[in-house]
Structure 1
C-alpha cells in the first residue's frame, strides 16, 4: 500500500515539477536556474506544513515522499550548479547554493509554523 501511495504522488509531482520549472524559467532571461529554485522552495514549504500536521502514514507516503519528493529535485539543483561552475559562472553557482539552502530551510520553517498555527 505504501509503495502505491508513493507512486501515485510521484506520478503527479514529477510532471508538475517539469511544467512549473519550464513555466518559471521561460519568464527569466538568465542562466540562473529559477525554475528549479521555485519548485524546491515550494516543496520545502509544503513539506514543512505537512510535517507539522502529523499526517497518517499513507498520507505521508502520498504527499510527502511521493508528491513532494518528486516535485523537488536535488539532482537537478546539483547538476545546474555544476553547469554554472563549468561555464565559469562562479558567482551564480554560489548564489544558487546559498539561495537554495536558505530558501529551502526558511520555507520549511514557515510551512511548519503555518501547520502548527492551523492546528491551534
Structure 2
C-alpha cells in the first residue's frame, strides 16, 4: 500500500526525488490543481458547445469530435514545442493550457463511445474508420503542431540574426 502524501519544505527536492524513486508521491501544489481545474472547465465547455452545435447523425462518422480531437492535438503539439523549446513559460501555463484547456477540449472517452455506437448501430466499418482515422490524424496533428512551431522559431531566429 502506498505511503500517504506528506508536505515538504519547498527546497527539499532530494527527499522528493528519493520518494519518487521509491514509488512514493509528492504533493501537487494547490495552484497547479486550480490551473488544471479551471483550464479543464474551459476546454470541456468549448468541446460541449461545439458538439451541441454540430451533433453527429446516428450511424454516421462523428466529424465534430474527430475535428475537435485533431485540432486539440495540433494545439498540444504546438504548445509543448513552444514552451519547452522556444520560449520558457510560467510554470502554470502547461497545467492550465496543456492539461486543463486542451485536455478538457480533446475527448478520447467520447471517441471510444462513438466507436461503440457505430459498431452497435451496425456500422462497423464506420467505427473502424473512426478508430484508425482519429488515431492517425491525432498523432499527425501533434507532429505537425510541433514542426510548425519549430519552423517558425527557426525562421524568427534567422530573421533576427540578419539584423545589425
TM-score in terms of structure 1 length: 0.91
Task: Give the stretch that moved more between structures: 47-56 or 74-83.
Answer: 47-56
| 2:73 equivalent to 1:41 | no
Shift in Å, 1:29: 8.5
Q: Aligned pair count? A: 119
Structure 1: 4+ residue segments shifted above 4 A: none
Partner deviation per Cα, 1:64-110 (whole Å, 9 max, x = no partner): 00000000001100011011111110110010011101110111111
| 2:94 equivalent to 1:60 | yes
TM-score in terms of structure 2 length: 0.68
CA contact (8 A) 1:25 1:35 kept: yes
**How far, CA to CA, are the matches of 1:102 and 1:95 in structure 2?**
10
Kindly indicate which of the two structures has a greater share of residues assigned to helix.
1
Query: Greater Rg, structure 1 or structure 2?
Result: 2
1:30–1:86 Cα change, 3 Å: closer
| Structure 1: unaligned runs, 5 residues or longer | none
- Higher relative contact order (CA closer than 8 Å, sequence separation 6+): 1
Q: Partner of 2:138: helix, strand, or coil?
A: helix
CA contact (8 A) 1:52 1:115 kept: yes
**How far, CA to CA, are the matches of 1:89 and 1:29 in structure 2?**
10
Q: Partner of 2:54: helix, strand, or coil?
A: helix
Task: Give the stretch that moved more between structures: 54-63 or 91-100.
Answer: 54-63
| Structure 2: unaligned runs, 5 residues or longer | 1-30, 155-164
What value does the CA root-mean-square deviation take over the aligned residues? 1.7
- Name the structure 2 match of 1:90: 124
